[in-house]
Structure 1
């Protein structure tokens, strides 16, 4: 890590900090950079101190405000990512280390799916008039998986089509009963943002699955699922996205009681798979 980053300054200043500011610093250092990416109030609550105490620490670190501090954290993390990628491509990878990192990251991702968060997503999927899912490059696979499984649990589960004209036809019929589930990760998809903005303008609600840095759509999400970690090296975290989607589907199934629908689906599948007489 570089010589002068927010986390380096925190470590250097920690011994001389007042008790309240030291509590904030412990939270930041124990869960860096993710603890720095929420709101100032949320950070203060985690540390058990007041927001003004957190503001004083930010000022002591040399930042004009919390937004400047967060910008520096994000910039430092991106530079760290680039350094890791450079190291990965210039040095033979250690598969055992990568497996352990993936395992650790996945555990953190699953832990982030708290009971209340799962309840919120599952309730919206169960009660929506229709569910439309989409993603960007690679994350579209998670959106497709969600729809394939959800369609067996309830009617009205659809993938958002790729072509603009087809998306426009979908938007014609979207309204307040409907839910859009968007998977949006760095680099964030402009096409996803355009569809979501248009869907929200027609009253649809947004469930967003994104990364620790948060898609620009995060502020518009009725329910925000933020995955706290990425996979090791340059590999995108599809494992994490699929695992979270599995949890969401299990929670939704518990609200939908889909036994009869699944039995019909199995019977229809068998009929359609029978060889011609």
Structure 2
């Protein structure tokens, strides 16, 4: 019997058990899923730069009797999408054509959200939230050249929710000083998307050696940091731009923050009240009443 869940979900779930060539093929199929898998086995294999036996072995690992059965399941998914009213919508920006960048970008972002949430393991999400909510361990947050903005945003909110949170500077000659403070059982939240940074990989290796637990926010191709991570969120970031999108990562971060506030409200509320009092005393924000 072929699997009942989507092929994309199946591919993500089997990724660690695939060979290097099979993973290369899987990533190629996921790049423009689901239409990327509709060609002949020869065409799909050539597009991914792998052999046809590699494709045959991979679909068998997914639970299909052969490539024909795999493609039949793929066509059923496409038919379900086309016929479902849930996937039909008016243009996001109604006063411009569908092919306008506003609508193309919005379509890509919404598809990234849909695909990421479909593949997200809820048990992993809940476990990460529980881990970050516990004050038994310190939390360190680090990003890279682009993702440092996400790290800073997450750090700022974590500071309000709980104590013992540190933002690690992204420059590689600064973070060894932070590693000195990492103890066994501490939590390191790492943001790393393509182009994956060598210094971030080295940081992950070194904190793992110290017994820290790593939570990784990465893209659908997975940062090399994943081999050291205890928990990984593989999120879709492709959009019609030279730059990747942070929409899905930001969505998940804000959901984590909301869950943490819910889990720790008894302690978070007095922290927020104390912070607001400090803002009032320092006249940090302008008031209109």
Contact 2:237 2:246 in 1 (8 A): no
Alpha-carbon deviation of 1:217? Answer: 1.4
In structure 2, relative to structure 1, the CA distance for the partners of 1:266 and 1:157 (3 Å cut) is same
In structure 2, relative to structure 1, the CA distance for the partners of 1:39 and 1:254 (3 Å cut) is same
In structure 2, relative to structure 1, the CA distance for the partners of 1:274 and 1:214 (3 Å cut) is closer
Matched, 1:262 2:272: yes
User: Which residue matches 2:55?
Assistant: none
In structure 2, relative to structure 1, the CA distance for the partners of 1:270 and 1:138 (3 Å cut) is same
Alpha-carbon deviation of 1:245? Answer: 0.4
Distance in 1, Cα, partners of 2:24 & 2:101: 32
Distance in 1, Cα, partners of 2:242 & 2:284: 45
Distance in 2, Cα, partners of 1:39 & 1:188: 22
In structure 2, relative to structure 1, the CA distance for the partners of 1:152 and 1:138 (3 Å cut) is same
In structure 2, relative to structure 1, the CA distance for the partners of 1:41 and 1:227 (3 Å cut) is closer
Matched, 1:119 2:72: no
In structure 2, relative to structure 1, the CA distance for the partners of 1:213 and 1:76 (3 Å cut) is same
What pairs up with 1:221-232 in 2 under 5 angstroms?
Answer: 221-228=229-236, 230-232=238-240
User: Which residue matches 1:251?
Assistant: 259
Distance in 1, Cα, partners of 2:253 & 2:188: 14
Distance in 2, Cα, partners of 1:38 & 1:116: 14
Partner SS, residue 184 of structure 2: coil
Matched, 1:139 2:147: yes
Alpha-carbon deviation of 1:105? Answer: 1.8
Alpha-carbon deviation of 1:155? Answer: 0.9
Give CA-to-partner distance per residue, 1:187-230, whole Å, 9 cap, x none: 11111111111111111110011111111111221111111453
The correspondence for 1:97, drawn from 104, 107, 120, is: 104
User: Which residue matches 2:64?
Assistant: none
What pairs up with 1:12-51 in 2 under 5 angstroms?
Answer: 20=1, 23=2, 30-32=6-8, 35-39=10-14
Matched, 1:108 2:147: no
In structure 2, relative to structure 1, the CA distance for the partners of 1:122 and 1:76 (3 Å cut) is closer
Q: Larger relative contact order (C-alpha < 8 A, sep ≥ 6)?
A: 1
Give the RMSD, CA atoms, in angstroms: 2.9
Contact 1:108 1:229 in 2 (8 A): no
Contact 1:37 1:213 in 2 (8 A): no
> How many residue pairs get matched?
218
Give CA-to-partner distance per residue, 1:120-139, whole Å, 9 cap, x none: 11111112521111122221
Q: Output the TM-score relative to the length of structure 2.
A: 0.66
Alpha-carbon deviation of 1:164? Answer: 3.6
Matched, 1:72 2:82: no
Alpha-carbon deviation of 1:102? Answer: 1.5
Q: Which deviates more, 113-122 or 255-264? A: 113-122
Contact 1:143 1:159 in 2 (8 A): yes
Gaps of 5+ in 1: 1-19, 43-64, 84-91
User: Which residue matches 2:243?
Assistant: 235
Alpha-carbon deviation of 1:182? Answer: 0.5
After superposing on structure 2, the runs of 4+ consecutive aligned residues of structure 1 that deviate more than 6 Å are 76-80
Alpha-carbon deviation of 1:256? Answer: 1.7
